Each structure stands twice: as C-alpha cells, then as structure tokens.
Amino acid sequence: MIDYDLHIHTEYCGHATGMTVAAILERAEAMGLSSIAITDHIFSHDDHAVIQKIRADVAAYGPALKVYVGAEVDVDYEHTDGRFVTDTFEGLDLVIAGFHYVPTVGNYPHSPQDNTLNAEEFLQHWHDSLLGIVSNPNVDILAHPGRLLAAGVDLDVHFEDALCIFAEAAALSAQNNIAWEINEMTGCRLLPQWWGQWHRIYETALAEGVKLVYGSDAHAPEAIGTHEYVDMILAKLPKNCLARPEEILTLKKKNK
C-alpha cells in the first residue's frame, strides 16, 4: 500500500466539488496516509493567492499527518520553451509541472482530430516544451508524463519516437532532481490499449536515474490515495522503485 499522495486538487480550482481542505484532510487521515501534498492549479500568477488560502485552511485544521502545500503550475502555452505561467515559486512546498495545453494553440485536445497542429509540428513543440520544463530546477515533479502526447497524436504512429524524446527529458530531469509522477487519473484519460505500454515511459526515467512518485490527481474525496491504474504500471517496473516524498524533497533542498 502506498501511504502518501502528492497530487490533490481543492474546490478552489472550480472543478473539484466537495474538495474543501477539511474534507481532503479528513479523508487522508481516515485512510491512514502519512503525508499528502495539496497541489491546486496555478493557471496565472494571481493564483498564488489561492495557494496561500489553502495553507491557512490547513493550519486552521491542524492535521495529524504531514501536509505539503504546493501547486500544479501550468506551462505557458503561448511559448514553446516550457516556461511557466509564473516566475514565482516561493511559498510552494512542492512544484508540480502541469503540461496540459497544445503549445501555441492553447486547447486540451480530446483526440488527435482536436489538435489543430499537424503531428510533426505538435511533436516539435511538445519536445521543445518538455525539455524546457525539465531544465527548470524549480520543478520538483513532472505531472502525468505523456498525457498531452496521448491526447494530441496517434500513438500507434508516434510512440516510439516519443520514447526517444522521453529519454532526453529523463537525462535532464535527473540532472535537475525532477521526479516523474505515476498519475492515477491518467488511467481514465488513456485508451485501454495503451495501459500495457505506459510503463515504458517510466523505464526511460529509471534508466537515467529519475525518481518516480505517486499522485492521484484527485478532484473528489474518494479519489484521494487510490492507485489501481498506478499499481498496474508498478507491476511492470522493478520492485520498490517508487520513491518516498522525503527523498525527492530533501534532494531539492540540498541543491537550492
């Protein structure tokens, strides 16, 4: 059993009904988790205020477990260099990089048909953005690697090329002590025929010495700490390859 969860949203983001900070902490305590990270979206610089509101809510509750207050900071889709929507990372215990939208276009494609860039152009922007993201030492965790790729291109054609790009990204991630997330919600976003392949992304990470961590990406209390899809991926990876939250956070501190 995994006793932590490093990716949880709150109802302040507007699409996570019932996720008050108190409801999150009650659920985490009831599940016996030892630590969690509350990581709501930062879509623009102004959203830092929301994160500090969450910090105040956590303090008011006084949880029995370790709680990191961080954010899933969005990549700025107006550029293709992987820069973020804010330059400020102070006041965040944990920074998760959220690469959600097609660079230069700005939508979340629900299928490759929904992606107005052609595959070559998309892959070039995806490559440039991804390498930019993992070159940023402020980042602690790369959220759901490959989710945007799966949404935006036909994986039957482009998966092997993408794995080479992941290998480049893994080398940079290792240099910058950026862990890669095994994300439970990705199981709902990915076509089932790809479930059996997704561990290969994490194999490229492990080969370069990148640490792997778990996050549910919960938008509802009952999703906190759940890891059915994650267990399926872990079953195909070396035993005990999941890192502890303390490991990745201590590494960062040493280097900051």
The site for Zn ion (CB under 5 A) is made up of: 72, 98, 143, 217
Shortest Å, Cβ 111 to Zn ion:
18
Residue number, 72 or 76, with CB nearest to Zn ion: 72
Determine the Cα–Cα distance for residues 81 and 85; give it in Å rounded to an integer: 12
- CB 120 to Zn ion: min, Å: 25
**HEC profile of the chain:** CCCEEEEECCHHHCCCCCCCHHHHHHHHHHCCCCEEEEEEEECCHHHHHHHHHHHHHHHHHCCCCEEEEEEEEEECCCCCCCCECCCCCCCCCCEEEECCCCCCCCCCCCCHHHCCCCHHHHHHHHHHHHHHHCCCCCCCEECCCCHHHHHHCCHHHHHHHHHHHHHHHHHHHHHCCCEEEEECCHHHHCCHHHCCCCHHHHHHHHHCCCCEEEECCECCHHHCCCCHHHHHHHCCCCCCCECCHHHHHHHHHHHC
CB of 9 to Zn ion, least distance (A): 6
Q: Which is nearer to Zn ion, 60 or 188 (CB)?
A: 188
Please report how close the Cβ of residue 144 comes to Zn ion at its closest, in angstroms.
Answer: 6
- Whichever of 138 and 175 has its CB closer to Zn ion, that residue is 138
Residue closer to Zn ion, measured from CB, 207 or 229: 229
| Closest CB to Zn ion among residues 143, 205 | 143
| Least distance to Zn ion, CB of residue 71, Å | 10
- Our CB check for Zn ion shows the closer of 98 and 187 to be 98
Minimal distance, residue 7 CB to Zn ion, in Å:
6
